[in-house]
Amino acid sequence: MFVDSEPRSWNMDPALLEQALTDRIHRGTRPKAVIAVHLYGQPADMDAIIEICARHEVPLIEDAAESLGATLRAALQDTDIRVEPVMR
């Protein structure tokens, strides 16, 4: 499934992600994972995306390959490699 971007950063729209996950889960086809991609040096709204994925128990993969030099809360997006489970 694809989720459209939001116009502020051209990254995944959290509201549309919420709708897409809710729709798929109600149809009995829970996605295996969500891949959030940071584009054009702009970080995606990861706080919202992480919360949505955790609530729907869908793993999250973060792709920061195109975010060279981007910052989120004063942290560089391309220097921190981490694996964090979002399912509780």
- Between 44 and 79, the more confident residue is 44
Q: What is the pLDDT of residue 9?
A: 84
- Quick one: pLDDT at residue 39? 85
Q: Other CB atoms closer than 10 Å to residue 56's CB: what's the count?
A: 19
Q: Per residue in 18-45, pLDDT tens?
A: 999 999 999 999 999 999 998 888 888 9
46 vs 16 pLDDT, higher one: 16
Of 40, 42, 41, 37, nearest in space to 12 by CA: 37
pLDDT confidence tier of residue 83, bands split at 50, 70 and 90 = very low
